Amino acid sequence: MLRLIVALVLAAIAMLLIGPRVLPVLRKLKFGQTIYELGPKSHRTKQGTPTMGGLMFAAVTVIVGLGAHADWLGMYDFAVALAAVSVLSMLIGFVDDYIKVVKKRNLGLIWWQKIVGQVVVSLAFSWYCYKSPLVGPAIVLPFGAGEWDLGLFYVPLMAVTMIFMINSANLQDGLDGLLSSVTVVGSAAWAGLALLAAAGGAAAVGQLENYQNLAVFAMALCGALIGFLRFNRYPAMVFMGDTGSMFIGGAMVGMAMLMRMPLHMLMLSFTPILSSLSVILQRVYFKLTHGKRIFKMSPIHHHFELCGMTEKQIVAMYTAVEVALCALALLTFGA
C-alpha cells in the first residue's frame, strides 16, 4: 500500500514541477493545436493552445511506475509489458500530432496509417497475453460470473478490442480536462481491482507480484493526470494531444487484458466507449436516413455542449458517471 501512495504522490508532484518548465518550450516550438473547422464554434478560441502535453504525463507515469517496481519478473513482467504497450500506442499518436503541428494538416495521419500501426501493436500485445502463463485465453466475467475461455479467438478479439479502446480514448479527448478526469477515476479503480485480485490469492508464481506492480503503475498514471489537470482543466493551458490520449488508451486496455478483465472496461471505461458508440450511431443513422442526425454533433460530449452545457458541467457529469460505475465494479468484484 505504501508503494501505491508513494507512486501517486511522486507522480503528481513531478507533473506540477515539470509542467511550468515544459509549457514555455512547447510555445517556443509553436506546438499549437489546430482546431477542427467543423467542431463547435466556441472551440475556435483554443487555436494555438500548446499540444502534445501527453509526453509529460506519459514520461512521469513510466518512470514512477517502473521506479516503484518491486520485483522484476523477466519477460512476463506485467509492469514492463504495460509500459511497452502504452508507449508504443503513444508513438502512433505522437506521429499524428507531429504531422498536425509541423505540417499544419489538421487530420494528421491518414486513417489507414493509424490503423496499420494499431493493428501491429494490438496483435503483438494480444499474442503476448495469449502465450503468457499468467494471462492466457480465459477472461474474467463481471459480477463473479466465472471465466470465459476464448481459445484461439482470443488474439483477434482482443486485438479488435485494443484498437477500439485506444481510438475511444482519442475520441473522448474533446473537452478541456475530460479524458484526464475520467482516467484519474478509472486508473484508481484498476489499482483497486488489482489489489483485490492479489488479495484473493494467485495460483501462478509471480502473479501476486505482477498484480501489485500493476496497481503501482495505475496509481502512477492517476497521480500524473492529477498533476496534469492543473494545466489541462478548463480553460486549458495545454492539450494532451493524440500523444496523450493514445498513451491512456493503451494503458487502460493493457491493464484490463493483463488482469484478464477486458469486460470490466464496460464499467471502468464507460465514457470513452460511449464516445465511440455515439460516433458509430451518428454515421450509420446519417447514411441510412440520407442526412439526418441523432445528435447535434458527435462524439456525444459535443452534443451536450451544443445543448447548452458548459465544458465544466460535462466534465463533472462524465466524472460522476465514472465514479459510480467504478464503485460498482469494485463493490461487486468476485461477488
What number is the average pLDDT over the span 96-112? Answer: 77
d(CA 330, CA 335): 10
What number is the average pLDDT over the span 265-283? Answer: 97
The mean-pLDDT minimum among 29-33, 83-87, 259-263 falls in: 29-33
Longest distance between any two alpha carbons in the chain, whole Å: 58
| Cell numbers placing 253 | 486496455
% of the chain surpassing 70 pLDDT: 91
Q: What's the pLDDT tens digit per position in 2-27? A: 889 999 999 999 999 999 999 999 88
264 Cβ partners below 8 Å, 6+ apart?
Answer: 140, 142, 193, 256, 329
The mean-pLDDT minimum among 62-71, 123-132, 154-163, 269-278 falls in: 62-71
Judge whether residue 147 has pLDDT over 70.
Answer: yes
pLDDT in the model for residue 46: 65
d(CA 76, CA 122): 17
d(CA 267, CA 329): 7
The rounded Cα 310 to chain-centroid distance in angstroms is 23
pLDDT-derived band at 315, boundaries 50, 70, 90: very high
Burial of residue 237, with CB atoms counted within 10 A of its CB: 0-12 exposed, 13-18 middle, 19 or more buried: middle
pLDDT-derived band at 1, boundaries 50, 70, 90: confident
pLDDT-derived band at 57, boundaries 50, 70, 90: very high
Judge whether residue 335 has pLDDT over 80.
Answer: no
